Amino acid sequence: MEEGVQLTQAEVGHRYEVFHTDCPARGVVDHVTSRWGVWVLISLRSNDLRFYELRDSIQGVSEKMLAQTLRALVEDGLVWREVEPTTPPQVTYGLTEFGHDVGEPLTDMLDRITQRLPSRDPG
């Protein structure tokens, strides 16, 4: 194959042509790999969390950015959202099966990075 030639669906063997700018999978990848998307998926890997618990688990994220990130991940089918009709409403988030599939390699990557970093001096 010539260098620089786009692969067709048949050549790639995948459902989407991810290197095309109009590929719907690119939007999902953008949301997962956004500044906060990775942290949301990793935070939800073992427990469903309410909005404030999720916010507290991810230091540095604003409520606005967390809400935007969650909205995108819910639309992509990676995260589910449940609203309890209380006053104020309690909103809980968790990973869908798709979210678990995508989040697992992210968790593995984080584990590998933290295991390879040099030890920090506690002093």
Question: What mean pLDDT do residues 9-21 have?
Answer: 65
- pTM of the full structure: 0.78
Q: Going by C-beta distance under 8 Å and a sequence separation of 6 or more, which residues neighbour residue 36?
A: 58, 61, 65, 66, 69
For residue 118, the model assigns a pLDDT of 87
> How many Cβ atoms sit within 10 Å of the Cβ of residue 9?
10
Which pLDDT band holds residue 123 (cuts at 50, 70, 90)? low
Q: Where are the domains of the chain?
A: 24-114
Distance CA(20)–CA(84), nearest Å, equals 40
Question: What mean pLDDT do residues 11-30 have?
Answer: 77
Distance CA(67)–CA(51), nearest Å, equals 8
CATH architecture of 24-114: Orthogonal Bundle (1.10)
For residue 5, the model assigns a pLDDT of 39
In the predicted model, what is the mean pLDDT of the chain? 86
Distance CA(58)–CA(43), nearest Å, equals 8
Question: What mean pLDDT do residues 116-120 have?
Answer: 85
